[in-house]
Amino acid sequence: MSRDGERVIELLNELGSRVGNVLADVVPPSAQVHLLNAQRELITALMLIYENRVAPEPAARRARRARTTRRTTRRDRKIPID
């Protein structure tokens, strides 16, 4: 993971903990557990979106895609007729 990705995670965790501290007095404990699980899922989804947009595609995928887009195969060539 890139350094930027780590910074995003740190920022999201800090924001989550601050909001959690503010809401701790207002929100019942069972709802806090639910909100923490939702926060974890949201952070995971945001990081996956971020990594998908920022990270380069793995070399194996690029190579495989390049091979599969080949226009002609051996069977597509003309057969010589004597």
pLDDT of residue 58: 67
Q: Which two structure tokens, joined as six digits, stand for 41?
A: 């899922």
Q: Which two structure tokens, joined as six digits, stand for 49?
A: 């979106």
Greatest alpha-carbon pair distance for the chain in Å reads 90
CA angle 41, 44, 15 (to 5 degrees): 80
Q: At what angle do helices 29-54 and 3-23 cross, to 10 degrees?
A: 160
pTM assigned to the model? 0.46
CA-CA-CA-CA torsion sign (57, 61, 66, 71): negative
Could you report the per-residue pLDDT of 19-49, keeping only the tens digit for each? 778 877 788 888 888 988 898 898 888 888 8
% of the chain residues with pLDDT over 70: 72
